[in-house]
Amino acid sequence: MSNDNMRKLQEEGISFLANDFNQCFEQARYYDAQIVDIFKYLATFYTTIAGLAIGLYQLKGMTLSPALISGLTVALSFGLCMFYLIVRNRVYFVFCMRYINEQRGMFLSCKPLGFENKSKMYTDCTKPILFNPLSSQSWWLYVVAILNSALLSAILYITKQNFCTIIILFIIAALLQLITGFYYLRSRDNKSASATVFGAKKGVL
C-alpha cells in the first residue's frame, strides 16, 4: 500500500473514531436520560394508581375488591418490567462509557500537544463497572423496587393479610428485585459487550 493510501486510510480511521466517540457520548446520555424518564413516568403512574386504589377502597364495596386487586396486579407487573428495563439500560450505558474511555485512553497515551491528562480523566476501558450499588442509576432501582413492593403491600392489605405478613413480604419483594437485578449485572461485568447484550460468545455477535 502506498504512503498516500496509508495516510488517507489513517485520516479516515481518525474521522471514524472521532464520529464514533461523539455518537457513543450521545447514546450514553440517551440511556441515562431514559432511566430518569422511566422513573418520572413510573412516579406519575404509581401516584395515579394509588389515588384510584384509595378512592375505590374507601367506597367499601366488597364487589370492587377483585377488580381492584386485578388492577394493582397489572400495575405491579408493569412496574417489574420497568425495573428490569432500567437494569438493561444500565448495561447499554456502561458499555458505551467503556468504549469512550478506551478511545480516550488510546489518544491520550500519545500525549497530543504535550497533554498529560493530569486531572486523570477516565481512560480505563474496564470502568464503569456494571454492578455499582452507589451509582445514581442504582438509586433509581432502589426507589422503583420500593414502589413495586408498596403495590404488593396494597394488594395484601386489600386481601386482609395481617400487618406483620405485609411488612415481611414487602421487605422480601424489595430485596428479591434488587438481588436479581444486581446479580444480573455482576455476573456480566467481565464479559464482552456482545456476550452481555446478545448472549453471544466472547467477541462473537
pLDDT in tens, 70-96: 888 989 999 999 999 999 999 999 999
What is the pLDDT averaged over residues 162-173? 95
If one counts every other C-beta atom within 10 angstroms of the C-beta of residue 20, the result is 13
Confidence of residue 201 (pLDDT cuts 50, 70, 90): low
Contacts of 200 (CB under 8 A, 6+ apart): 194
Counting residues of the chain whose pLDDT is more than 70, the rounded percentage is 92
The CA distance from 133 to 139, in Å, is 8
Per-residue pLDDT, 88: 94
pLDDT, residue 204, reads 42
For residue 83, what pLDDT is reported? 95
Least reliable range by pLDDT among 46-60, 62-76, 108-122, 150-164: 46-60
Reference 67, options 167, 151, 155; nearest CA is 155
Least confident of 36-50, 99-113, 188-202: 188-202
Whether residue 5 has pLDDT greater than 90? no
